[in-house]
Amino acid sequence: MSTIEQILSLERIDELIFRGDPVESALTRTFGGQVAAQALVAATETITDKAVHSLHGYFVAPGKADQPTVYLVDPIRDGRSFSSRQVRAIQDGETIFSMQASFHRRGDVGPEHSDLMRDVPDPETLPVDPSTMPVSSRALLEEWGDWDIRVVPSDRYEHNPYTPSQQVVWFRSKRPLPDDETLHVCTLAYMSDMTLLHSSLVPHPGHKVQMASLDHAMWFLRPFRTDEWLLYDQVSPSASAGRALTHGRIFDRAGNLVAMVTQEGLTRTLREGAQSVPSRRPED
């Protein structure tokens, strides 16, 4: 299994062209978090004086997990305070993912406030029990062997009565990672696609759906490390017409809000004999 350092290591083919090698996987489609993270790596390779603060991406076609992906970077603008990049991920001449990322100069100051982290049990007190997860989640856990992912039982935290679907997850890298801010930012982009869409199924236990990320937006708010525990507080405000909208706030263990994510995904009722997440292994 490839490490996150290997996954995020791109070959620079030309000044604005990069290539990511295929990652060994039982999935037939490239994991969306991988494509988003590699696209962000490509964008950051063209920036020297600013840090990424947001990205907005669309998954426009399914990627093939056993093929390399080429990333084309368009340097839209370089200003004094902000820079913008557009990245296209391409396989077989076809765009599979399109992303815009914005970078902000360091050192600006202004008003400060943030949401508070809800009161939840410490991650060490939670068992790792894949049997409590949907079949599609358990299949993905085999792909995520480098990550410690612990879903907080729904009876262990106070629920918001105005939100129909809630899920709270602790996660981190099992291995210590290098002291490289860009690596941790791109790693969180990878991790942010883990479990989020599954939060839309909390009110619908046993309902089998075809799942795929459609778009992905992310804001990086404060410093963090992905080899330390992060709390992913997820809600799904709506599911309708075969799509679900999901939203997640990511806190560090001290309760600082470090990132936010919004994603819409396909949650179409699964036809007989099909798989929720296409894989070379049959689902149970």
281 domain residue, yes or no: no
> pTM (2 decimals)?
0.92
83 domain residue, yes or no: yes
- Give residue-wise pLDDT tens across range 124-142: 999 876 665 555 555 556 6
Q: What is the mean pLDDT of residues 53-65?
A: 96
pLDDT band with cut points at 50, 70 and 90 for residue 274: confident
Flag whether pLDDT at 229 surpasses 60: yes
Q: What is the mean pLDDT of residues 32-51?
A: 97
278 domain residue, yes or no: no
Q: What is the mean pLDDT of residues 51-57?
A: 98
- Give residue-wise pLDDT tens across range 65-98: 999 999 999 999 999 999 999 999 999 999 999 9
Catalytic residue numbers read: 193, 213, 263
Q: Which residues of 127-142 are buried (b: 16+ CB within 10 A; e: fewer)?
A: eeeeeebbebbebbbe
279 domain residue, yes or no: no
Report pLDDT for 74. Answer: 98
User: Cα–Cα distance between 203 and 26 in angstroms, integer?
Assistant: 28
Domain count, the chain: 1
Report pLDDT for 24. Answer: 81
Hey, which residues does 55 pair with through a beta bridge?
101, 218
46 domain residue, yes or no: yes
Report pLDDT for 218. Answer: 98
Hey, which residues does 250 pair with through a beta bridge?
232, 259
Flag whether pLDDT at 281 surpasses 60: no
Flag whether pLDDT at 143 surpasses 90: no
pLDDT band with cut points at 50, 70 and 90 for residue 25: confident
Domain range for 64: 4-105+128-269
Flag whether pLDDT at 48 surpasses 80: yes
57 domain residue, yes or no: yes
121 domain residue, yes or no: no
Report pLDDT for 191. Answer: 96
DSSP string, the chain: ---HHHHT--EEEETTEEEE-----SBSB--HHHHHHHHHHHHHTT-SSEEEEEEEEEE-SPPBTTS-EEEEEEEEEE-SSEEEEEEEEEETTEEEEEEEEEEEETT-------PPPP----GGGS---GGGS-HHHHHHHHHTTTEEEEEPPGGGSPPPTT-S-EEEEEEEESS---S-HHHHHHHHHHHTTSSTGGGGGTTSTT--EEEEEEEEEEEE-S---TTS-EEEEEEEEEEETTEEEEEEEEEETTS-EEEEEEEEEEEEEPPTT--SS-BSSPP-
Domain CATH for 253: 2.40.160.210
What does pLDDT average to over the chain?
92
Q: Are 12 and 43 in contact (CB under 8 A)?
A: no
Residue with the larger pLDDT of the pair 127 and 238: 238
